[in-house]
Amino acid sequence: MKEQISQFILRALAEMNYDVEDVTEETDLGPAGLDLESLALADLTVQLEDEYGIGFTDEDVETLATLNLGEFATALAGRLAATSEVGAE
């Protein structure tokens, strides 16, 4: 699931005109890497919400800028797994 999420994020960023050619799991989403601005982060979270049906708080969006792609994909995969486990009970 993590790989699928990472690929979705890369596609979304490419559609938002970010150069993702050299982006790896270690690339920071914030100033030290892709330097996603708050509007871009908000756009990305909306796309993720639409794709995966999971919500983000304002605090989640702020935290995003401190993570790298791999960390964010892992965290999102964990949230999705927890959500599906709760739904299965």
Given the candidates 1.10.150, 1.10.8, 1.10.10, 1.10.1200, the CATH classification of the domain at 2-79 is 1.10.1200
CA distance 10 to 65: 15
pLDDT tens, position by position, 55-77: 888 888 888 889 999 999 999 99
Task: State both tokens at 62.
Answer: 């702020």
pLDDT tens, position by position, 24-38: 999 999 888 999 988
Enumerate the domain spans of the chain: 2-79
